């Protein structure tokens, strides 16, 4: 089951803790939350080459998308930036501005 389908079911049952928390504190709508989770599902991921403990090359995949809920109840789509080695650099909004602080964020690997 896709995460957005799971999110929809949990939201409808009142069992999605992250949505309930975001909704209670900001008023974010269920429709906006589920649409944002669907956007997270479409994360293309970035692939980087690294080396394991034995020095053998391995491929690692890093997320490129996260969302956060703003205090006004809007969901902001963020680009997660990694350097050439796959190390996390920072978050950037759709305007390309660096985002400070990460309150109430979610990515595709987080539990719904």
Render pLDDT for 12-46 as a digit per residue (tens, 0 to 9): 999 999 999 999 999 999 999 999 999 999 999 99
- Contact partners, residue 71, CB within 8 Å, separation at least 6: 25, 26
pLDDT attached to residue 44: 96
Q: What residues does each domain of the chain span?
A: 3-106
Report the C-alpha gap between 23 and 19 in whole angstroms.
6
Q: What is the mean pLDDT of the chain?
A: 93
**pTM, rounded to two decimals:** 0.88
Q: From 12, 3, 5, select the one nearest 30 (Cα to Cα).
A: 12
Is a pLDDT exceeding 80 seen at residue 104? no
- pLDDT given at position 102: 65
Residue 54: count of CB within 10 angstroms of its CB: 6
């Amino acid at each position: 089951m896709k995460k957005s389908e799971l999110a929809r079911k949990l939201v409808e049952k009142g069992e999605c803790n992250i949505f309930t928390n975001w909704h209670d504190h900001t008023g974010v709508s269920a429709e906006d939350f589920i649409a944002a989770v669907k956007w997270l599902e479409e994360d293309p991921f970035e692939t980087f080459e690294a080396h394991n403990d034995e020095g053998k090359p391995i491929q690692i995949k890093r997320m490129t998308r996260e969302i956060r809920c703003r205090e006004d109840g809007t969901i902001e789509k963020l680009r997660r930036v990694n350097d050439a080695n796959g190390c996390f650099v920072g978050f950037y909004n759709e305007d390309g501005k660096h985002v400070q602080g990460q309150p109430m964020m979610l990515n595709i690997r987080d539990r719904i």
